[in-house]
């Protein structure tokens, strides 16, 4: 059965290490007949959550009209969600954290999703997975399927590229 796959890429570097793995995952998922889409957050001019709590209504709408709502709608419908980040100071990017904050309208309405985490590091994840897993933990009945970590140049690691392609294919 075809699945809906949403990939959130939070590096500022299009075609960089984590973004390259995102593309492999999407390629694999599409090759297997799934409906897969990557959102490259750097391309979206969005602002922080203003903590106005206006989204905590049945409509679950943020007052900020900046393209994030489309992503959240897709995430609600998704079977599979991938969060990808380069590791900055042993943490996720500020961009991904700001995106997670903007998920406030829907974070506890995400239900029965499979999750994959992609990180790119110079040397080590440190605690970077903790914050991502905490966010995933706010959803209902989440399943963490796999974590892929690339050290150094992703494009020079064909085995890893294939592993991530296969994960997308078999997701």
Ligand X SMILES: Cc1cc2nc3c(=O)[nH]c(=O)nc-3n(C[C@H](O)[C@H](O)[C@H](O)COP(=O)(O)O)c2cc1C
Q: Is 28 helix (H, G, I), strand (E, B) or coil?
A: helix
Q: Is 25 helix (H, G, I), strand (E, B) or coil?
A: helix
Of the candidates 25, 137, 44, the one whose C-alpha atom is nearest the C-alpha of residue 82 is 25
- Spatial distance between the Cα atoms of 166 and 68, rounded to a whole number of angstroms: 29
The reply to whether 82 sits near ligand X by the rule CB under 6 A is: no
Nearer to ligand X, 57 or 123 (CB): 123
The reply to whether 87 sits near ligand X by the rule CB under 6 A is: yes
Among 121, 129, 136, 171, interactor with ligand X by CB under 6 A? 121
Binding mask 4-43 vs ligand X (x if CB under 6 A, - otherwise)? -------x-x--xxxx------------------------
- Least distance to ligand X from the beta carbon of 67, Å? 21
The reply to whether 122 sits near ligand X by the rule CB under 6 A is: yes
The reply to whether 107 sits near ligand X by the rule CB under 6 A is: no
Among 86, 105, 142, 168, interactor with ligand X by CB under 6 A? 86
Number of residues that bind ligand X (CB under 6 A): 17
Strands lying side by side in the sheet with 4-9: 35-40, 4-9, 80-86, 114-121, 143-151
Site residues, ligand X (CB under 6 A): 11, 13, 16-19, 86-90, 120-124, 126
């Amino acid at each position: 059965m075809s699945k809906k796959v949403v990939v959130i890429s939070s590096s500022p570097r299009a075609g960089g290490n984590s973004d390259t793995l995102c593309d492999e995952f999407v390629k694999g998922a599409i090759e297997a007949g799934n409906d897969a889409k990557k959102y490259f957050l750097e391309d979206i001019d969005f602002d922080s959550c203003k903590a106005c709590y206006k989204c905590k209504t049945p409509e679950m709408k943020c007052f900020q009209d900046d393209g994030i709502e489309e992503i959240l709608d897709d995430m609600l419908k998704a079977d599979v969600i991938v969060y990808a980040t380069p590791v900055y100071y042993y943490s996720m990017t500020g961009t991904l954290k700001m995106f997670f904050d903007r998920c406030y309208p829907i974070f506890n309405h995400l239900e029965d999703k499979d999750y994959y985490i992609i990180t790119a590091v110079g040397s080590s994840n440190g605690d970077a997975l903790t914050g991502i897993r905490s966010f995933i933990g706010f959803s209902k009945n989440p399943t963490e399927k796999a974590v892929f970590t690339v050290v150094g140049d992703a494009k020079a690691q064909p085995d890893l590229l294939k592993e991530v392609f296969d994960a997308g294919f078999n997701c």
